[in-house]
Structure 1
Amino acid sequence: MIIPLSVISLLGLVCLILLASPWPFLAPGAVLGLVGLAVLYRRPAWGLLGIAALVPLEGLFKDSMLTGSKLLGAALALILTLQLALQQLPPDRLRSNLWRFLTGFMVLYFLSMLLTEDLGMSLGHLRELSVGLVLFVITLLIGRELNLMMFCRLVTLSVTLTCILAMFSTKFQDQGRASGLLEDPNGFAMLIAFAFPLALLLALKSPNLMYRLFWIGCSVMLLGGMTKTQSRSGLVVLFLSLIIGLYHYRAHLPRIRPRHLGFAMLGGAILIPLAIYLMPPGYVARIQSLSVLSAGASGHTDESLGRRASYIVVGSQMIRENPLLGSGPGTFPLHYATTGYAKAFSANRKIGDLYRRAHNTYLEIFSEIGIPAGLLFVGLLGMGLLNMHRARSAWLKRHEWEQADLITHLGMGMLSLTLFLMFLSAPNQKYVWIMLAMTSVLRLKAEESPVMEAKA
């Protein structure tokens, strides 16, 4: 693809204007911007890889209005719009079986906004959600060119780097719990749970021993980071992902020989004591506290579980009051702040402690936008998981084992994100929307692959 001469002329004019302005030092930046746009125009998938790699590092720029992710996202949006207008991208790239769910959800979303109890909060929620929607469209357009193994490498390395920072520096911890570059340890645990299946794939598919040891080391760091988050939900999600992975590779079990069991026992003898030594003392107590969930919002001493139970109580009441269109996007904190739970679970009575989100994306959507919109959102994610299952089945029928393994590990990551939405208010989480679009792209690629190309 060739960049239109008009675009080059325009940027050249910008450089000349900057040279003649009081800020000539900005002219080299315009030249670098031109080079970056040229590269993105030729390889837009590289921009998406850059966004994926920067997600765990966004906390470095939380006080900045202009970040690398925003620049890449805006540049990609402009470039892909131009390529669509010039018919350099086929419009059928936007074809997806997810649109029927997403379109219905957005219609109900805007209807709920018309009746919202607080327009300012709803507009803020829409601004956050629009980031995910833009990434969804971008991924649909260029997902076919995305190097998935490079995607796995970049995500794994980026999350592993934040794990190393969080494990060995208190600066990246929140009251003793690792939060990486994020403000929420559970949000950090979500990134780890997504990256861990990708790290396992890289370890299994490495071409030589050195690479395999490197990715195994990254996997160990991810596990260490998970324990430092002290996230109970992260532990559950990680365990489910491992069970799915073992089920996928069950055909390899007959290859296990007695000598392999000896090495496994040796590894267990080393890793289990090490894990016990590294596990924070409070983590075991947090896991044991799950046994008192049946006591309700005020029947136990675990403050975290008490808050989560109170979110369910408040959210249920909101659903009963406005079952069809909810109270408006982003208005859950407004309702929660007026309850006694807000004061009871507020450490210092600050505004941020009183106005709390639901810490459950599904509960938040059902209570703020209504039951029909909530069902469509659940259907959207469910269809995404079904797409991964169908893509895997299609590759297995063609005996494309490598592709099937790749889909399995990406599906494990997608499932981790879907489950984690029960413990976080993150409808705009970038990986969720990137992976949603990728499920559609991967299914179409698998089903369009001719059966005659199946390997014997």
Structure 2
Amino acid sequence: MIIPLSVVSLLGLACLILLASPWPYLAPGVVLGLAGVAALYRRPAWGLLGIVALVPLEGLFKDTTPSASKLVGASLALILMLQLALHQLPSDRLRSNLWRFLAWFMVLYFLSMLLTDDLGMSLGHLRELSVGLVLFVITLLIGREMNLMVFCRLATLSVTLTCILAMYSSKYQDQGRAAGLLSDPNAFALLIAFAIPQALLLVLKSPNLLHRLFWCGCTLLLFGGMTKTESRSGLVVLLVSLVIGLYHYRAQLPRIRPRHLGFAMLGGAILIPLTIYALPAGYIARIQSLSILSAGASAHNDESLGRRASYIVVGGQMIRENPLLGSGPGTFPLHYASTGYSKAFSANRKLGDLYRRAHNTYLEIFSELGIPAGLLFVGLLGMGLFNMQRARSAWLKRHEWEQADLVTHLGMSLLSLTVFLLFLSAPNQKYLWIMLALSWVLRLKAEQSPLPERQA
């Protein structure tokens, strides 16, 4: 692809203006920008891979405006718009079975905004959600050109780096819990749960022992980071993901010989006590607190579980009051702050402690946008998982075992995100929207590949 002369001329003019201005030192930045634009124009998939790598590292750029990921995303969006206008990209790539849910969801979203309880909060919510929607469209357009193994490597390495920072530096911890470059340990646990299936894939598919040892080290660091977050929801999501992975590889169980089973039992006998010994005492106490949930949230002293129970009570009341269109996007904190729960669970009465989100994306959407929009959002995520399942089945029919394994692990990552939304308010999570679009791309690629010829 050739960059239009008009774009080059515009950047050249900007460079000359800066040279004649009081800030001539900014002129080289235009040249670097031109080189970056040229690279993105020729290889847009590189930009998407760059965003994937930058998501866990966004905390490093929180004081810069705009951040690196936003700058890459905005540049990539403008380039793709230009390529669509010049017919250098086929517009039919935007077709997807996900639009049937997403389009109607956005219609209800804007209707809810018209009747919102607070327009400012709703506009802020829309601004956050629009980032995910832009990434969804970008992935639909260029996901076919993206190297998925590179995708897995970048996501694993980026999250592993933040795990190292969080495990060995109190600067990246929140009251002793690892938060990485984020402000919430649970949000950090979500990134780890997303990366672990991909790290395991890299361990299984490594070409040699040295690479396998490297990715094993990354996997151990990810598990260590998960324990350091002390996230109970992260542990639940991780166990669900691993069980699904074992189910996928069940066909390989007959390959296990009795001697292999013996070594596995010996390794388990050594690793399980060591793991329990290495777990932080606070994490063990938080896990043990789950065993008394049957007595009710008010019957124990776990403030976190009691606070989550209060979110359900407030969200349920909001749904009963506005079942069709909700109270407006982003307004759950406004309603929660007006209840006695906000004061009861606020340690210092600060604004951020009083205006709390639901810590449950599904509850938040049902209460803020109404039941129809909530069902459409659930349908959207369900269709994404269904696309992954169909892609896996298509590759298995074609005896493409490597591709089937790849889709399975990416599906585990998507499932980790969707389950984690039960414990975290993150409808704008970038990985979520990238993976949703990627689910359609993977299914389309699998189903359009030729079937193997039958032998006579």
TM over 0.5: yes
Amino acid at match of 1:96: S
Q: 1:164 and 1:62 mapped to 2: Cα distance?
A: 19
Correspondence for 2:18: 18
**Aligned length, in residue pairs:** 456
Aligned ranges for residues 231-250 of structure 1 at < 5 Å?
A: 231-250=231-250
Aligned ranges for residues 15-414 of structure 1 at < 5 Å?
A: 15-414=15-414
Amino acid at match of 1:257: R
Deviation of residue 455 (structure 1)? 11
Deviation of residue 169 (structure 1)? 1.0
Q: 1:145 and 1:270 mapped to 2: Cα distance?
A: 44
- Which moves more between the two structures, 380-389 or 258-267? 258-267
Contact kept, 8 Å, 1:399 with 1:455, in 2: the verdict is: no
Q: 1:438 and 1:218 mapped to 2: Cα distance?
A: 24
- Which moves more between the two structures, 57-66 or 206-215? 57-66
SS in 2 for 1:327: coil
Amino acid at match of 1:429: Q
Distance 1:453-1:5 versus aligned 2 partners, 3 A rule: farther
Gaps of 5+ in 1: none
Q: 1:339 and 1:300 mapped to 2: Cα distance?
A: 21
- Which moves more between the two structures, 264-273 or 321-330? 264-273
Distance 1:264-1:455 versus aligned 2 partners, 3 A rule: farther
Percentage identity across aligned positions? Answer: 84
Amino acid at match of 2:86: L
Deviation of residue 275 (structure 1)? 1.6
SS in 2 for 1:451: coil
Query: 1:161-208 CA deviation, whole Å, 9 max, x = no partner?
Result: 111111111111111111111111000000000000000000000000
Q: 1:396 and 1:255 mapped to 2: Cα distance?
A: 19
Amino acid at match of 1:242: L
Query: 1:342-368 CA deviation, whole Å, 9 max, x = no partner?
Result: 000001001110000000000000000
- Which moves more between the two structures, 10-19 or 197-206? 10-19
Amino acid at match of 2:214: F
Distance 1:342-1:20 versus aligned 2 partners, 3 A rule: same
Contact kept, 8 Å, 1:399 with 1:454, in 2: the verdict is: no
Query: 1:106-139 CA deviation, whole Å, 9 max, x = no partner?
Result: 0000000000000000000000000000000000
Deviation of residue 267 (structure 1)? 2.9
CA RMSD of aligned residues (A): 1.3
Query: 1:303-336 CA deviation, whole Å, 9 max, x = no partner?
Result: 0000000000000000000000000000000000
Q: 2:449 and 2:49 mapped to 1: Cα distance?
A: 24
Q: 1:40 and 1:196 mapped to 2: Cα distance?
A: 29
Query: 1:8-51 CA deviation, whole Å, 9 max, x = no partner?
Result: 11111111111111111011100000000000000000000000
Q: 1:375 and 1:341 mapped to 2: Cα distance?
A: 27
Amino acid at match of 1:83: Q
Deviation of residue 293 (structure 1)? 2.0
Give TM-score scaled by structure 2 length.
0.98
Q: 1:93 and 1:455 mapped to 2: Cα distance?
A: 35
Q: 2:281 and 2:311 mapped to 1: Cα distance?
A: 28
Deviation of residue 271 (structure 1)? 2.5
Give TM-score scaled by structure 1 length.
0.98
- Which moves more between the two structures, 309-318 or 258-267? 258-267
- Which moves more between the two structures, 425-434 or 165-174? 165-174
Q: 1:379 and 1:243 mapped to 2: Cα distance?
A: 23
